[in-house]
Amino acid sequence: MPGPKRAGRFEVAEIVRAHRAELESKHTLSREQKRVLTDIGNCRTAALGGHLDRCIDCGYERPSYNSCRNRHCPKCQALAQEKWIERQRERMLACRYFHVVFTMPKQLRPLGAFAPRVVYEALLHAASRTLIELADTRLKATIGVTTILHTWTRKLTFHPHAHALVSGGGLSHDGKTWRKARRKFLFPVKVMGLLLRGKIMDALRIAHRRGDFEGFEDFRDPEGFACLLRSVAALPWHVYAKTSFSNGEQVLQYLGRYTHRVGISNSRLLDVSARHITFRTKGDGAETITPVEFLRRLVQHVLPSGFHKIRHYGLHASADKRAQAAALIPLRRRVIKKKSSEPALSDFTVFYCPHCGATLIQEPLPLARAPPESIAA
């Protein structure tokens, strides 16, 4: 009997097409979640149309189908990520950068699943204000901050947290000097945790008074909200800060790995059958679950419609102040240049015939009425 396929030969789209109906029979999905599943299932299939690559010299032909471009699709993020990195070259400062991770206690995760927009907004706003305010008081400067929301663990469980890339210095309040942070130390993590806790709890109180959590089961008890806040107020809120990067190019490459990452990539799928899905977790670890449970975990990371998971603050949000700060950074560290050997990014690529080497021409293909049949066993 042949062994299981190697990693990289399975696709999330196959699982979606084979088991979506069963998922929807057992779980209620939001409109956004249904749209994501539809897009993933149709991505690069005849359902979205495409073109026929044809060689006029030898007659070779192959179909190329359109991508869905959904930000949750594991097949559509590579080009978007590289283009984002290119744009960021104009935003990043040529200084040291710190990577800081802000995490909420697990007690708030059920509320985050019920009201994701409210809780995600609270987390990103609190993380950015914590950094900006500490820079104001401790560095007497305006720093650059970019935050990125992630909601998953390597096992696809629900775990909202915010990654922040923070400049290791800032523009002084009088706009005349560049004030550097210490090489191995940004701000005390315990202080950042305390500020984060206070800001998120304040945001949740406002949202509760506004009625944003109406219908949440745990708050049917009139004391439910107050009990939740008391429990999280007594906990330590963890903030993790990595050692600074030495230059802007390292920051861009590191940040790029986080910006357009989705919950799971096709390359992490180790084995797929009608009864189980096995995927790689951390290191040599693996997780085996049913296809329906896999899809349930996948859709819980679908973001609210129109929600911006990447945000810029301080110097990263102001071109004028960024230019002013860049002029004050020591000359030897001032410029981040794109390597001349790197090709320009484009949506359009010239393809050549694999048989004779001639240029392939592209002819439109009609839209199909439905996606192709599932390959799942």
- pLDDT tens per residue across span 274-287: 999 999 999 899 99
* Percent above pLDDT 70 for the chain: 86
Q: Could you give the angle at the alpha carbon of 281 between the alpha carbons of 117 and 107, nearest 5°?
A: 40
pLDDT digits (tens, 9 = 90+) for 143-194: 999 999 999 999 999 999 999 999 999 999 999 999 999 888 899 999 999 9
Top-confidence residue, 340 or 77: 77
Q: How would residue 356 be classed by pLDDT, with cut points 50, 70 and 90?
A: confident
Look up the pTM and report it.
0.84
Give the separation between CA 67 and CA 11, rounded to whole angstroms.
14
Q: Which of 281, 280, 268, 377 has its CA nearest to residue 2?
A: 377
Give the separation between CA 199 and CA 123, rounded to whole angstroms.
9
Provide the sign of the torsion angle of the four alpha carbons 35, 41, 44, 50, taken in this order.
Answer: negative
Q: How would residue 64 be classed by pLDDT, with cut points 50, 70 and 90?
A: confident
Average pLDDT over residues 70-96: 79
pLDDT digits (tens, 9 = 90+) for 9-21: 899 999 999 999 9
Q: What is the pLDDT of residue 292?
A: 98
Residue 309 has pLDDT above 50, yes or no: yes
Query: Torsions phi, psi of 166, nearest 5?
Result: -125, 130
Q: What is the pLDDT of residue 262?
A: 85
Provide the sign of the torsion angle of the four alpha carbons 214, 152, 14, 64, taken in this order.
Answer: positive
**229, HSE (Cβ side, Cα atoms, 13 Å):** 16
Q: What is the pLDDT of residue 258?
A: 67
Q: What is the pLDDT of residue 333?
A: 46
Top-confidence residue, 318 or 347: 318
Average pLDDT for the chain: 86
